[in-house]
Amino acid sequence: MSDTAAVVHEEHSHEHHDSSLQHHFATYEQQMDAGKIGMWLFLATEILLFGGLFVGFALMQSKYPEAFVQAHHHLDKNLGFLNTVVLLVSSFTMVMAVHCAKTEQRKKVLVYLLITLACAAIFLCVKYFEYEHKIHEGLLPGKFYTHVGDTVPHQFVFFSFYFMMTGLHGLHIVGGMAAITWIFFRAKKGDFNHQYYTPIDLVGLYWHLVDLIWIYLFPLLYLIS
């Protein structure tokens, strides 16, 4: 299918300057489709990046099953559950923000984005308390592991992975919050309309991926026995 007309024709547009349509694209639709493919490809790289950690976790768990079972009891399932709920809600508010941008309900966009940011902040707070508890108990990665009283050795490996995986995930949350903040200010300026809402759509996709990763992290780290 070739929908790529090289000739630019006048788009039925509202009052905003044409810099939102980049020079090498012929139509907004083409630009949006390209942006989506690009973002999905980036998400694929994130899946493989985190996937490597999942593979390492799985193989070390099969090497030291007892240690991993013992170690995971130190995690607070309730906090993990709370964080899961918080992220799922944030995914909902994020997709609502995108929807409102597309249907040009500007105030609602801002509200939903703020709620998304709030959920992300709650997630990080909960994680902070969890980390604080681990540090207090000496349940730290690698050579920093100082917990005493273990009946099964090699539990430090579990915590190496716990901190690597939730840490990398947390970094992505922070990055996501920065992106959402940027989108918030663009939405406030009135940048988005029914034919140009690509940036908020793409940031939304990224945010859902962050949620997706946690959907797998939660059971594997907190629940499996």
Task: Choose the binding region for other proteins from 118-126, 128-136, 155-163, 174-182 (rule: CB under 8 A).
Answer: 155-163
Candidates 82, 87, 113; CA nearest to 185 is 113
Q: Which of residues 75-104 bind other proteins (CB under 8 A)?
A: 77, 81, 84-85, 88-89, 91-92, 94-96, 99, 102-103
Q: Per CB under 8 A, does 64 bind other proteins?
A: yes
Q: How far apart are CA 141 and CA 186, in angstroms?
A: 40
The residues, any chain, with a CB within 8 Å of residue 121's CB and separated by 6 or more, are 177
Q: Which of residues 22-41 bind other proteins (CB under 8 A)?
A: 22-24, 27-30, 33-34, 36-38, 40-41
189-214 burial code (b ≥16 CB/10 A, e <16): eebbbebbbbbbbbbbbbbbbbbbbb
Q: Per CB under 8 A, does 205 bind other proteins?
A: yes
148 three-class SS: coil
Task: Choose the binding region for other proteins from 121-129, 152-160, 169-177, 183-191 (rule: CB under 8 A).
Answer: 152-160
Closest CB to other proteins among residues 178, 223: 223
Place of tokens 């709030």: 118
Q: Per CB under 8 A, does 131 bind other proteins?
A: no
Q: Per CB under 8 A, does 14 bind other proteins?
A: no
- Shortest approach of other proteins to residue 75 CB, angstroms? 12
Phi/psi class of residue 109: alpha, beta or left (left: φ > 0; alpha: ψ in -120 to 50)? alpha
